[in-house]
Structure 1
Amino acid sequence: MTDLTASRRTVLVAEDDPGVRSTLDQLLRFEGYRVVQAADGLQALGLLERERPDLALVDVVMPGLDGLALCRTLRRRGDRLPVLVLTARDQVGDRVAGLDAGADDYLAKPFATEELLARIRALLRRTEPAEGSGVLSLGDLTLDPAARTAHRGPHPLELTKTEFDVLELLLEHQGAVLTRTQIYDRIWGYGFDTTSRTLDVSIGYLRRKTEHDGAPRLIHTVRNVGYTLRTA
């Protein structure tokens, strides 16, 4: 029977075995989840730039970027996406390694579908925000991290995942000046090339969207330092 709590929830399946990936896709869709698929960790990171899943099922052994490296990358970015690691190994050391990498839960293959679905439901319940909590605002700018929505006045802002994450970070530290390195480490991960123009491009798009129809600027440049969010 379809789980009604799964309605409109999105699960990212990162698994290099096409047979396992297809089986998980069919199972989750039957249960009412929306599914996006990735064949390896690098593809999963790319999908996360366009999608915002509610949970990720991640295989440990994948080419390019394995499951544990994917978890570490997400946590270095400050991404709290719930991650359930799937692996063919069931030694204590393997479980510890997965949890230390930032995974929220660990399930060894082969597993019963009932247990997998129960663990997914448990993780989704654990990460549900309290009613009415967590909304960030400055002036007429509001952002709801739980719903992944943002508005300037009555107008919704259509933001990419990266734009949303940058704006959320600036709102969390409104009034403070965040250096370029701090923003890169939080959003793109430690070691990202801080001399690139990626951040500047994202800020440019954010300004264009938040200043639509002549709305006053909120995102300000502090020359040779970084950026700050303030009303004046």
Structure 2
Amino acid sequence: MRVIGSALAALLSGALLCGALTACGGAVSTQGGTRAAPSPSGVSTAATRPATPPPTGPNVSGCYDESAGEIFKQPGGLPGVIGGTGATGVVITYERRGNVCSWRPLFDRLTGAGYRVLVYVRSSGDFPEDTAVAMAKRLAKEPGVKRLFLVGGSIGATTAVPAAARLGAKVAGVVALSGEIDAKDAAGLTVPLLQIGSEHDGYGGAEDLNAASAAAVKAPDNEVLIIPGESRHASALFGTPHGVRILDRIEAFMARHKG
């Protein structure tokens, strides 16, 4: 009985300690607008950082406030933000079930590198190609913006290529994360293309990326980065140990083609 009592006391003590630390059996919740900042290795540090209160003023999904850039409203009232400066703009269109928050690592990298970056909230009923075109036209009207990159994840990547065709000479290039680009769209692309994805991703995996690359014969630069052994999808790759490598590759690609 003395042994059982001692074991029970140890279990209760451990449970109380877990409750105090809120870190046994999972990461601390980041709901309510708090986002996880990337660590130097590209791995999320949400479980090790103290929670911060969500912004109370104008913001986009609780992840971008006015310190990130200019908050704007789209037709229909959905928000977006334009951050950074420079003559080259970047429009980011997220995954079908994604959100702007998971793209904050790329937003921060590119605004810090001198790009004008627009991220926006999209209604589930909106076709990503149409919204990307609309946001690109909006960003192109910003003073000093001369050229644009289209960046997309998943369906946002798939539709970035036909969106680029609609926008014409303003487009400097396309960056597609985990896209499944149609061969006909790829064949008509006349701007540089960078595709990034996981080897074992069911949508936008190695087979899809290589097929689109083979079809994109008119693209003046046609790069593919496949993360071996990985299955994470689109912006989820930023939170893996490959995150910094991916951000570096995107920035280097844009630096070569921004004109």
User: Common fold, TM-score beyond 0.5?
Assistant: no
Instruction: Give 1 or 2 for the bigger CA radius of gyration.
Output: 2
TM-score (norm 2): 0.27
TM-score (norm 1): 0.29
